[in-house]
Every structure is written in C-alpha cells, then in structure tokens.
Structure 1
C-alpha cells in the first residue's frame, strides 16, 4: 500500500485503486444495537471503519463521527443509500478528512509551536484545516478594513469574514453556506477563521477543542512576540 497526498487529502493506493479517508456525521437512536446496525450497513456498502467518535448523547439520540476508508472512485451516494432505510438514522454530512484516525496531531503541533518563533502563527494556521477536517484557515486584523496576516493553502483570494469577531470562539454559517469557527486572539488584536465548505457545521465539541488549543498557543512565551512582529510587517504593507 502506498500512502500519499492527493488533492490535499490523505490517500492510499491499493494496486490501481485510490483509497481516501471520509468522515460521516450520523445521528442515530441511543439504544442498544443501533451503533452495530450502522457499522454493519457501512461495511456492507464497502466502507472500512477506522474510528468512531461520540459527539453527543441525550434525549434518546446520539451524534457520532465515523472515519472510514473509501474507494475514491466509488460514489458517496452508496454510503447514504446504505443508511437511508434505517429507522431514526440521519446523515448530517459526508466529507473528506486529512486527520489520520487514532492520532493526536494537536500534541505534535503544539510541540512544534514552542520552537517556531516568528513562524508560530503561520504554523498554527496551516495546521488547523488538518486538525479539524476543514478546508482553510486565516488570521486578520479584528477591525475593518481587515488586513490578512496569514492564510493557509486553499484559502480564497478574498477571505470572507463575519462582520464582527465574537468575544470567544463561536461556530457560524455564512449566507454562502460556508461553515466557520471564528475566534479572537486578543493579545495579538487578530481574529482567526477556520472554514469548511464541505460537510456539516462545526459541532460545539470542535469549537471547545479549538478554544483549548488557542488557550495553550497564546500561553507560549514566544508566541506574542513572534506573531506581533509578523502582524506589524503585514499591516505595514501599502494597500
């Protein structure tokens, strides 16, 4: 099996077949046997389940994220058809992911940040799409007109931002349908945006996870000094 990155997504080749990682967000009844029924249905459709993460449980319902290996050439509709006849089961989203199952990449990223110096902010932003199975991330000045300090690969030329940066990280969905987590970086006078055009809105557990990462990031001694220098360089550029 050969491992590589195809179109920005973690992918494998088995012979001539390309295997990609997909994530499915599935709501299901919170009762014995429901999870087994879902996993059997996905397996019958050809998905190889590698990880299940419980996001929510309550009021007789559960919300789980399933990470699966899936042939890139196979229509994703086959996954949906395998579940649509199951009573009480609803698929909230299917999207590609670059987050390898069973790993804790945020720990590695935080280790790199401690020695990143002036690259700390860029390293954080570049890592966010991978950590959260998103499309891109960017940081900009809090006040309008916003000045982009740094954006990750695949960020659009015109980065969309909500009108205001909230006082704490929050999930929002723009009128265009792009899902975001918008977070302030108060010591740097910046706002960070993490965006996902494919898949469901960000869950509150994802918002909480990002909040904790940013809290640790902003506590690192070199971060404010290094990011401050990058910020000054960016805002000093002529418009």
Structure 2
C-alpha cells in the first residue's frame, strides 16, 4: 500500500537518514522524497512510501516517534507513481487538444498533488462545470469562515485568489483560471502545502493560455 507522509523535522545533517532508517526497520520502502520547506531550523518533507500489508494512517505517527524532533503532519494513501511527470503529461494533452483544456485539467490535476478529486466551478456562483471521478455534484459548506471569510452553511463560493481552506470535511485548494470565469478546486484528506499550491498555480496559468 502506498502512502504520502508529510513530516517536519530538524534541518540538520543526518535527520533524513534517521527517518529513512526507522522506515526501513518498519518494512517501508521509500520511493520518493520531496523537500517542501526549509525555514527556522526545520524542514518539511514529503515521503512517498510503499508500506507492507494494510495499515491505518493514525498509527504511522506512533511508529515514527523514535526519531527525535520529528512530527508527522499528515499521512494519506496515494496512487501517485513516483518519478513520473504528471505536470508535463497534463500540458502535453492540453496542447494536443486545446478545446478540451479545462476538462483535461480537471481529470489530471489530482495527480499533481495526490488529491482525491477536482472540479471547476463558475466564479461567483459555485456551479460545478467539470468534475473528475468521485467529485461531488455541488460544493457546499460548512466552510471554515476564518480561512475563507464567507458565511458558514451557505453555497460554496470560490475565494478570489489562490487559497487553501477546509469545507465539508475536506481540505481544499482553490485557484482562479485566468480569463475563464472558472476556479479549479482540488480536495484531499490532508492539508495542502504552499509549495503545492504554487506548483498548481503555474500549471493552471499555462493551461489557461493554451485553452484560450
């Protein structure tokens, strides 16, 4: 079973090696490591690992507690293929058929950040225009008003700028598609990092240019 583990750990020589050794003793195979952030003496890294058998995400933090100073920020199952280039593949398909640019974006965007599903919604109304597999028919609250700034329990309205927030039990990434009167919304069980948001913003900007 494949998992993404997001960990915060001291940014010092040997820290990654400690994590790797502990994961190895637990039988996990590290397939990929991505550094998301290095700031204030700490680093935030994503590990893509193959875990033997079936395990629940809640127990993973306990198993990694042997590493001093390590915090497991999130753990979730993933279908990502380490070493692949989903952003390049997405842009290649968009360039081959610009008329379906936004449909292709919705279908492929979850693979960029290990999301569960994606939709495009009409700016201002929240009407779902395109849906990936498993996406809901509509987006509705309750919304984390402190993050979003809108009233709770109302129909979901896309924030005006790229943002990460919570709604209906999901962690969401929302960003406008330039010139299209649409927002791309992605969802998963774990919070999105700013580095992931920045990556998707760049891809969406290119898709919007080609799609126009």
TM over 0.5: yes
1:184-237 CA-to-partner distances (Å, cap 9, x unmatched) read 1241111111111x22x11000010011001111111xx13xxxxxxxxxxxxx
Distance 1:41 1:34 in 2: 11
Cα offset, 1:137, TM superposition? 0.5
CA-based RMSD of the aligned residues comes to 1.8
TM-score w.r.t. structure 2 length?
A: 0.86
- Report what 2:88 is aligned to: 107
**1:140-155 counterparts in 2 under 5 A?**
140-144=121-125, 146-155=126-135
Cα offset, 1:171, TM superposition? 1.2
Pair 1:34 & 2:24 matched: no
Distance 1:219 1:147 in 2: 23
How many residue pairs match? The answer is 199
TM-score w.r.t. structure 1 length?
A: 0.77
Cα offset, 1:121, TM superposition? 1.0
Cα offset, 1:72, TM superposition? 4.2
Structure 2 counterpart of 1:212, from 189, 202, 209: 202
Structure 1 counterpart of 2:164, from 142, 166, 171: 171
Distance 1:186 1:216 in 2: 10
Select between 43-52 and 157-166 the one with higher mean Cα deviation.
157-166
- Which structure is larger by alpha-carbon Rg, 1 or 2? 1
- Report what 2:182 is aligned to: 190
- Report what 1:202 is aligned to: 192
Segments of structure 1 that go 5 or more residues without pairing to the other structure are 1-19, 225-239
Distance 1:72 1:173 in 2: 31
Segments of structure 2 that go 5 or more residues without pairing to the other structure are 144-155
Q: Secondary structure at the match of 1:71?
A: coil
Q: Is the 8 A contact 1:99 1:130 kept in 2?
A: yes
Q: Is the 8 A contact 2:180 2:208 kept in 1?
A: no
Cα offset, 1:75, TM superposition? 4.3
Cα offset, 1:23, TM superposition? 0.6
1:71-94 CA-to-partner distances (Å, cap 9, x unmatched) read 342444553332123321110111
